[in-house]
Amino acid sequence: MVDSLSVIVIGFIAMSAQVLFLREFLVSFGGNELSLGVALAAWLASAGLSAFALGRQADRIRNKRFALAVCFICLAVLLFLCLLEIRSIRDYLGVAAGEVVSLPRMAEAGLLVFLPACGFPGFMFSLSCRLSNAGKTYLLESLGSMAGGFSVSLYLIRVYGVLQIIAVLAALALSAALLLLRSAGTSWKVLSARVCSILLFGFLAYLSFSPGWQELESASLKARWRGSEVIDNRNSLYGSLTLIADRGQVSFFYDGMRIYSVPDKPSAEEKAHLALLQHQAPRRVLMAGAGIEAVRETLSEPVDELDYVELDPLNIEMARSHLAPEYLEVFLDKRLSVHNIDARRFIKYNKKKYDCVIINLGDPLTAQLNRYYTLEFFRELKSILKQRGVFSISLSSSENYIRRENALLLRSIYAALKEVFGEVKAIPGDTAYFLASDTTGALTYDYELLVRRIEERGLRLSYVCGAYLFSRLSAERVDYLERILKQRYSGPLNSDERPISYYYANISWLSRFRHPLVCALLAAVTARLIWVVVAALAIVMLFAGRKRGVRGAVVPACVTGGFSAMGFQMIILLAFQSIYGIVFYKLGVILTSFMLGLVLGAGRGMNFSSEAALSRFRKMQLIFVFYALFLCATLRLLALRQPDILLWFGANLFFPLLSAAAGYITGYQFPLANNIYSPAPAAISRTGGLIYGVDLLGSCLGALLVSAFWVPILGIVQTCFAIALFNLVAFYRLKTIV
């Protein structure tokens, strides 16, 4: 009973920590799906390597309960250290608040953070396999993971701070250690471990009834924002919002990315007036993501109505709490309506028509942001523009020289705009403003006309004035940018299903770190090249390890299964982000649904003979093929325009069920694979660790390759087909075993 409980606790702590640490990692590295993929890859690689390498040593340990108890004690301490490490990792890397982090440094950070935290659970899994059979251990660990994920995602994260939840997990680990030590003997080592556990319990109790928690929380936040004054930090369902004060300016950071600062009049005037001055008489305006000061600038124009869309009400609440009164006067203006809803959803279901729509959300560095640069979004937005209506978006650029990587991004967005709108112009600068209208002649580069409109409207602008417009719209700069944009673009048009601009944005982002070879290699990756590599790997899978018989077929099938499961998870997360744009608070639910599927699948896959297990294993491999095709079709249907009730079911039922189904197939395979491998009883830890390790290593590759390359370049449909191909090859290998 104690052994079973300890395995459940391992799963509970591991999954809970995964949800918490991934959320913290996203905040530390800007909420980018690439950072999520890197974090998952580092997590899974660390767990897989420890299970594989240390699992070979687990069979040699005599007192396994004592060893497991010591691991629990170490894990209780490591949980705190890992949280503090994640929050201080930017300072360790020498990266300032708000500064982007290169991919190699991000991978380094992931390994530094997750290797110790995941090493112990991986090793503990191998130890537990020796106390029970591998299939039962996998089932119990998955059950604990499911319980942990649901507890954190649905309750704990909403009620308690991250540090308090870590304390609960540490107390749970210490409780499991004390239970195991009761049956581990009475040697001095066991007694020392008991004393250590009790002392750590006392330390946790002391912190709970003292100001220590708040001081530790404050210290960890200061470590994350080293050199900056944190004036407020809060979490919501949608993300983590931090306010930083620096030399009289308040900056809003959302999931670690700066979204706007106040005061910042030059930027606010650009965001508002460069678009509004293009229209002869803007009366009804829609704005998203520009910030409070830009709203203030918009209301300085003679507009009759301004709809400001802000998904997270916490953003407005914190602005009201910390900004100077003159910026808050805008909320008293009867022309302003604030809508706390996803901007794309607001546009899709809105029946109003607007003279001007201003979207200022930053580069499409995430799947969530890329939703505002796709063909589908541009078509939705076009439907709410009046005749001669103007639409504006902005992207990072350069005033005088545009890098090749940045040009790829700009051209991909320009091509998508040209596909939808009749006229598209771009205003050059460090931030390039793309202007679009479906009426030819509605847009202009004539700075004198824009200056006259400023005078006619009685605007008192200190930045967007005659000299500024003359310089910004000079013929040389406009011609240079247009030559860049009108060069032949051979890539696919950016879409929800194939977010290629998200890939180009990340290449442009990486080019800032002076990795020309890496950027050149990434830019050279095409759909054709990926398919060549996929075909080559499929051929290798067909013939490699044939002399090893059934073992030579089962191990690559487990790698393929792990790759497929995590690949499906990343596809589901990216698709959810694309449709709903709010993956932050659903991350735990989707991951936990996967664990629920693992529990049900592992329970179903136990207790088969070796011959029956091989037959079932083959069927599961074939089901992976059909699941890939089913997932592709289902996601395409969910992406269509749907009533609110179906959107609700999609977010709360369909997506979790899709994740659970992938987990079921994966969980079903694990005990079957252990049974087929036919380990000697004395080497059960080694075998369980081997199968667990190769499964996690496959998952590591799936997390990284699918999120960073396959979905942006191939698209969701072709990615599903590629995964189906790998599983079909693995099925053929299993089918041809004599």
Residues 468 and 351 in one domain: yes
End-to-end CA gap in the chain: 41
Predicted local distance difference test score (pLDDT) of residue 663:
85
Q: What confidence tens digit (pLDDT) does each residue in 491-523 have?
A: 888 988 888 888 888 778 777 666 666 667 777
Residues 575 and 702 in one domain: yes
Predicted local distance difference test score (pLDDT) of residue 682:
47
> What is the C-alpha to C-alpha distance for residues 128 and 246, in angstroms, rounded to an integer?
52
Tell me which residues of the chain have a pLDDT lower than 50. 679, 681-683, 685
Say if 517 falls within a structural domain: no
| Beta-ladder partners of 392 | 358, 435
Residue appearing with tokens 């759909």: 527
> What is the C-alpha to C-alpha distance for residues 244 and 261, in angstroms, rounded to an integer?
9
690-721 in b/e burial notation, b at 16+ Cβ within 10 A?
Answer: bbbbbbbbbbbbbbbbbbbbbbbbbbbebbbb
Say if 239 falls within a structural domain: no
Looking at residue 713, the DSSP 8-state letter turns out to be I
Say if 676 falls within a structural domain: yes
CATH number of the domain encompassing residue 308: 3.40.50.150
> What is the C-alpha to C-alpha distance for residues 524 and 506, in angstroms, rounded to an integer?
14
345-383 in b/e burial notation, b at 16+ Cβ within 10 A?
Answer: bbbbebeeebbbbbbbbbbbbbbbbbbbbbbbbbebbbe
Q: In what order do the strands lie in the sheet with 305-309?
A: 336-339, 305-309, 284-288, 354-359, 385-396, 431-437, 423-427
- Sequence-distant (6+) residues with CB within 8 A of 469 are 447, 450, 451
Residues 481 and 589 in one domain: no
**Among 195, 224, 253, which residue terminates a domain?**
224
Picking from 356, 321, 320, the residue whose alpha carbon sits closest to that of residue 338 is 320
**Among 192, 208, 224, which residue terminates a domain?**
224
Say if 656 falls within a structural domain: yes
SS3 labels along 96-157: CCCCCCCHHHHHHHHHHHHHHHHHHHHHHHHHHHHHCCHHHHHHHHHHHHHHHHHHHHHHHH
73, HSE (Cβ side, Cα atoms, 13 Å): 22
Picking from 506, 427, 519, 422, the residue whose alpha carbon sits closest to that of residue 468 is 427
- Cβ(384)–Cβ(415) below 8 Å: no
- 259, two tokens: 């979204």
Residues 570 and 687 in one domain: yes
> What is the C-alpha to C-alpha distance for residues 673 and 689, in angstroms, rounded to an integer?
12
Predicted local distance difference test score (pLDDT) of residue 582:
59
275-292 in b/e burial notation, b at 16+ Cβ within 10 A?
Answer: bbbbbeebebbbbbbbbb
Alpha helix segments (H runs only) across 606-714: 610-638, 644-649, 655-677, 684-705
Residues 46 and 113 in one domain: yes
Predicted local distance difference test score (pLDDT) of residue 7:
75
Say if 507 falls within a structural domain: no
Residues 619 and 480 in one domain: no
Residues 539 and 677 in one domain: yes
Residues 731 and 686 in one domain: yes
- Cβ(386)–Cβ(418) below 8 Å: no
Say if 485 falls within a structural domain: yes
Picking from 354, 736, 397, the residue whose alpha carbon sits closest to that of residue 545 is 736
Q: Rg of the chain's alpha carbons, rounded to an integer?
A: 28
- Cβ(17)–Cβ(47) below 8 Å: no
Calculate helix-pair angle for 527-543, 715-735, nearest 10 degrees: 10
- 503, two tokens: 């890939």
The pTM assigned to this predicted structure is 0.79
**Among 224, 256, 290, which residue terminates a domain?**
224
- Cβ(28)–Cβ(233) below 8 Å: no
Q: What confidence tens digit (pLDDT) does each residue in 269-281 have?
A: 889 899 999 998 8
> What is the C-alpha to C-alpha distance for residues 485 and 407, in angstroms, rounded to an integer?
7
Calculate helix-pair angle for 715-735, 550-580, nearest 10 degrees: 160
> What is the C-alpha to C-alpha distance for residues 87 and 594, in angstroms, rounded to an integer?
27
Residue 411 lies in domain: 265-492
Residues 655 and 708 in one domain: yes
Predicted local distance difference test score (pLDDT) of residue 440:
86
Residues 532 and 671 in one domain: yes
Residues 210 and 299 in one domain: no
CATH number of the domain encompassing residue 41: 1.20.1250
Q: What confidence tens digit (pLDDT) does each residue in 644-668 have?
A: 656 666 666 777 888 888 888 888 8
Predicted local distance difference test score (pLDDT) of residue 22:
75
Picking from 392, 394, 414, 393, the residue whose alpha carbon sits closest to that of residue 483 is 414
Residues 488 and 532 in one domain: no
Predicted local distance difference test score (pLDDT) of residue 212:
64
Predicted local distance difference test score (pLDDT) of residue 348:
80
Q: What confidence tens digit (pLDDT) does each residue in 226-238 have?
A: 767 788 877 776 7
Predicted local distance difference test score (pLDDT) of residue 118:
66
Count of domains in the chain? 3
> What is the C-alpha to C-alpha distance for residues 290 and 359, in angstroms, rounded to an integer?
7
